[in-house]
Amino acid sequence: MKFTNGYWLLKEGIEPHYAAQGFDAEKKDKELVVYAPDRPIKSRGDTLNCPQLTIRYSSPRKNVIRVRISHFEGQIDAGPRFAIDEDPAVSPEISVVPAGDGKTGEAAFRSGDLSVHVTLGGAWQVEFRGGGRTIAGCGPKSTGCMISRRCPGFMENPVTAFPGGGAGPARGVYIKEELSLGVGEYVYGLGERFGPLVKNGQSVDIWNADGGAASDQAYKNIPFYLTNKGYGVFVNETGNVQFEVGSEKTSRVGFSVAGESLEYCVIYGPEPKAVLENYTALTGRPPVLEDDTFGLWLSTSFTTSYDEGTVMSFIDGMLDRGIPLKVFHFDCFWMKGFHWCDLRWDDATFPDPAALIKRIKARGLKVSVWINPYVAQRSRLFEEGKAGGFFLKKKDGSVYQTDFWQAGMAIVDFTNPAAAAWYTEKIGAILDMGVDYLKTDFGERIPYDAVYFNGADPARTHNYYTYLYNKTIFEFLEKKKGPGRGCLFARSATAGSQRFPVHWGGDCESTFEAMAETLRGGLSLGLSGFGYWSHDIGGFEGDPDPALFKRWLQFGLLSSHSRLHGSNSYRVPWNVDEESVEVCRVFANLKRSLLPYLKDCSEEARARGIPLTRAMALEFPDDPACACLDRQYMLGPELLVAPVFSPDGAVEYYLPPGDWTHLLDNRRETGGRWMKERYDFLSLPVWRRKINRNPPA
């Protein structure tokens, strides 16, 4: 959020209370507490009528420093809070040297190789040092409590969370922080973002929205970024964190939240992989998934007409053509229209679903079905949920309903343990039929004026809802199927949701531009701690032309997870053209041959939080040519993939220094240069680099 009008002026109606001075500091157990009034204290009289910020430094894990900025600390914290895995063995070093005799003092806090240094007695100055060098900091007019007099058009919530949802945060009080952005410093992450990979110059709202894959809205908003200077920042707030990445002040990254406090963690690397490793140690890592999940998934698509005959003809058509299919997915209309989600098969279309599932599994496939947490009024579950108190409510106690998506739909309240148990009991009946995986769609259109069972703050639960939803379903799957056998296909996410894979890119269009947007979203998500990622091959909206479909097949089958899915047309390759069948067969078999390698990469995601689909800057942080690349990627540590984004097969990409072998034609090249080539539909730039697996000690 921008509080200023240019560099010198404030926006109309803003009353700032900046930390002006580190007046005093004290050590409290494992915490350093700094008191920062909003004006320099030169005499006793200056302590009167003087707002003061309390800033607490602590360490949840080695090489991580947590900062909590508070104005009023007497507020009720209704939650929710992200689940953070803290290490109680951390023993920070804390020192306080008071100011005196006309000299400034210093308060210092160290955790591992990361330290923070706060000037006492002089102008507000904070320095974060990693490995002895300054990596970030803040100075005057960076840390503050901003009070708005609610001038028209400014403090209203800039995003619509729910139709008819209201006017945003009730209080005009915000806590903001600004950290320095150095020369040549690039910012990455902040979730699944479809614009440029480097976030400098962007304003980003951490607010989940069902906004498609072609705007500044996103399904997966993560309040975490990392930079090429050896550190990352995780804002530990579940509500709407608003980032200004060099966009309000070009040499600062600003972030703010509504309320009386703000908490963030500075996470040291210094390598970007180490930053991700430390961040995911805090917020969670994904499990290793079953082998079949890495194979090709085929969907019925969204609004297409299908029945048992259609389904089996598609499955047999794929297998007869030598395409190694692994999972078949039933999208929305396995249930009756107007009845979603009643979690009951449409008996007019599928009179014997258990027998159908048995026939599918006899072909060696797993089965997935679509669900979401919304219950239409006509659903058989509506009256049960209403009677049990299992839905989100309005302030008057009535069920929160809307006609947007499904007529009269309600929303399952996963803060209520009884509601979660009720909902998963219904899902259990589907799993008992033989369903293996679940596509947990939606979870973004959550009202921020609803009442939750546990009394949570609805504005702070809007993003967090998806965590509760997918956690409930994933853990139930693992309970029913056994450890290591759970798998979702989820669209919405927040920090920590990487624990419950897989996530796919959402509703993109069927164009080359959308294919590039999709890749940018996946690379940003990987730089936000997500190990696995998928997308709709060919795009979701529209009918891909043959050239686009074949190029997207290559890209999709060289992603961690691969799914053929669309909106209103079947995505079986022979519906496009016969060459698409051959492309699908070649690359599905190629992916099958890569399974041992993908499993090794999956283990690295589990153990360290390193994604399978990697931005070039993550794998080659010391190569400045890789810093901004977002039209190519690494699949694991060895494979470079440069998707073709043109109908004529022309592609330009960068091959980093090293010895490389083309995976498809065995050509060898020495890297460190740009390549400009043209490929037919059975090939693309996919190179394997030679890695010394046993480097000298």
Question: Pick the catalytic residue: 24, 210, 444, 449?
Answer: 444
Q: What angle separates helix 546-556 from helix 512-526, to the nearest 10 degrees?
A: 10
396 noted as active-site residue:
no
Is it true that the peptide bond before 417 is cis, omega within 30 degrees of 0? Answer: no
441 noted as active-site residue:
yes
3 state DSSP class of 332: helix
Cα 421 from Cα 315, distance rounded (Å): 34
Asked whether 281 and 61 are in contact (CB, 8 A), the reply is: yes
List, in sequence order, every residue forming a beta bridge with 137; answer none if it has no partner. 127
Distances (CA, A) of 607 to 165, 285, 407, 484, 649: 41, 7, 44, 14, 38
* C-alpha triplet 216, 219, 222: angle, nearest 5°: 85
3 state DSSP class of 555: helix
Q: Which amino acid is at 56?
A: R
Query: What sign results for the dihedral spanned by CA atoms 33, 34, 38, 41?
Result: positive
507 noted as active-site residue:
yes
Q: What residues have CB less than 8 Å from 537, skipping those under 6 apart? A: 549, 552, 553, 555, 556, 557, 562, 563, 564, 565, 571
Cα 535 from Cα 528, distance rounded (Å): 17
Asked whether 230 and 275 are in contact (CB, 8 A), the reply is: yes
Strands of 565-618 (E only): list them: 613-614
Cα 90 from Cα 196, distance rounded (Å): 37
3 state DSSP class of 547: helix
Question: Pick the catalytic residue: 127, 205, 210, 507?
Answer: 507
Question: Pick the catalytic residue: 106, 436, 441, 630?
Answer: 441
Strands of 497-615 (E only): list them: 536-537, 562-564, 613-614
Residue 559 exposure: Cα atoms within 13 Å on the Cβ side: 31
Cα 511 from Cα 241, distance rounded (Å): 32
List, in sequence order, every residue forming a beta bridge with 120; answer none if it has no partner. 105
- DSSP calls for 183-207: TT--EEEEES--S-SS-TTEEEEE-
Strands laid side by side in the 114-120 sheet: 93-97, 105-111, 114-120, 126-130, 133-138
Active site residues: 441, 444, 507
